[in-house]
Structure 1
């Protein structure tokens, strides 16, 4: 059977028999590996329903078969062990010079796989790009962009492809690692004439009600995070800070929330603040104002009184 194939190829293509066999075996290996990969992937998808596990299995299977195919085809084309080592040595030297950036990206991929600075599903920022990680491949990872012209870390709908080599040259900010919660602050400015103590009590009550669930959840994750990172907080409870500004009294609500819930919690808290402040005539929002005096003497007298 083998000789028939060789004779047919030699007759029609005029290629040396040794090369013909190697080409034939290479194509056969690729075909078999492709079929096996598809079969294994479908078997995994049939048994696994979680989308994150499906993605991890799919990536692992793909890269395993790619590496296996490279090894098998290399063995087919380079028969002797010494020649095999020499072959890979020359190839490695050439690639190091000609493919510097792709090799750096491949090294970044290995760093991401083993060091795990982030995983699929994490919300991260690398340099000026921020988004949710939706794919990690050998040469680049993909983000579903957030921020930019959209406020409060909401999705823009754009996809960002970032070279893996960026993990060696850019700082990575991970919203999910640690204890999986972030601190958020909402600033409320009221006039000096307002009853700031009453306003602070109202804000304390509102932020405590909205952040209670997140605070309890953060306490559970903090213990696990402290085993890996030097992370500790004296308190995780929401708090309202008081500061005096040029235009009035600044009351800042600081609380914990999940990274992807930041805008939702802000929206709910602000609506409650507006509803509660509307019930109290002695609480007014402050904003930049200017005073104009048409009578110079009146202006001087007011300044003297102050």
Structure 2
């Protein structure tokens, strides 16, 4: 007996298609029921709704293809297409799962490390199968201090974004503090003062950093010939720039800058021949203020003839 002009074979295929759809809907409902009963996290519930929806639809399409097209009767072909369909339907979750395996295997970072991935910087505070969580630093907050926001990053980002680890190799970073003094200041004395201040703040780090660099050199091509602070000299439009370069703990960067700046302010306040430089405007009379061998001849055009 034919129904709606369909042959018995097509009727059977139609019924099988409907039953497959019904079966997948029931399975999806059961999975969502179990998820909702075990967690009240709206994000987790949403994630499972999306995953089960895409997965059910992809599997149903493959089942329909197996029912209606004879070419899919080959078991090996069918299983291959089924695997491909599942991979496509679950592309993002599978990528995140692969990223999780990569993180565990290669360990580009661990929980507690301070990292930068893409434009995001922060401390890794949690690691899960599909994502890891970062306590954000920087952004609108200066000196890379915490913003208080927790950012969840899909594990798959490790394949597409560059990762910077502040603590891999050895747990210190180079920091620089620029100090600008006027051209008229005794910049040589200022440089000596800055060197003394930076060395005083670095004494407790020197031995520890040497040991860590030595240990890191056995694992990676990390060679640092100079670990002690240094002050570089350069010239800017408004004066002589003295830049302090020193090692510091990345989590104590702002505190170390504060301590060094307070010592600089106190030291310079006692010096009569050192002034900070800043954008200003002044008149410079070369024939009066210039060096004796580099002075211009005074302009006599404005002098009246007697």
| TM-score bin, normalised by smaller chain | 0.5 to 0.7
CA drift of 1:245 comes to 1.3
**Which residue is 2:129 aligned to?**
138
**Which residue is 1:274 aligned to?**
265
Give aligned pairs, total. Answer: 224
Matched residues in 2 for 1:188 and 1:289: separation?
16
- 1:149 is paired with a residue of what secondary structure? coil
CA drift of 1:150 comes to 0.4
Whichever of the two has the greater Rg, that structure is 2
1:110 aligns with 2:70: no
CA drift of 1:217 comes to 1.3
Residues 82-102 of structure 1 show CA distances to partners (whole Å, capped at 9, x for unaligned) of: xxx999867643321111111
- 1:180 is paired with a residue of what secondary structure? coil
Which among 237, 247, 268 is matched to residue 246 of structure 1? 237
Which among 88, 98, 106 is matched to residue 97 of structure 1? 88
Residues 248-294 of structure 1 show CA distances to partners (whole Å, capped at 9, x for unaligned) of: 1100100111111111100100000000000001100001112369x
Matched residues in 2 for 1:118 and 1:91: separation?
35
Where does structure 2 lack aligned partners over 5 or more consecutive residues?
A: 1-26, 39-75, 297-306
Contact 2:131 2:155 in 1 (8 A): yes
Matched residues in 1 for 2:81 and 2:157: separation?
27
Q: What TM-score do you get using the length of structure 2 for normalisation?
A: 0.67
- 1:152 is paired with a residue of what secondary structure? helix
- 1:209 is paired with a residue of what secondary structure? helix
1:180 aligns with 2:171: yes
**Which residue is 2:138 aligned to?**
147
Contact 1:144 1:159 in 2 (8 A): yes
- 1:244 is paired with a residue of what secondary structure? strand
Q: What TM-score do you get using the length of structure 1 for normalisation?
A: 0.67
- What is the aligned-residue RMSD (CA, Å)? 2.8
Which runs of structure 2 are paired with 1:82-93 in the superposition (5 Å)?
92-93=83-84
CA drift of 1:244 comes to 1.3
Matched residues in 2 for 1:89 and 1:214: separation?
59
Contact 1:203 1:240 in 2 (8 A): yes
Matched residues in 2 for 1:176 and 1:279: separation?
39
Matched residues in 1 for 2:103 and 2:77: separation?
30
> In structure 2, do the counterparts of structure 1 residues 127 and 205 end up closer, same or farther at CA, with 3 Å as the change threshold?
same
Contact 2:286 2:295 in 1 (8 A): no
Residues 105-147 of structure 1 show CA distances to partners (whole Å, capped at 9, x for unaligned) of: 1111100001000000000000000000001111111100000
| Structure 1 runs of 4+ with >3 Å offset | 85-92, 298-306
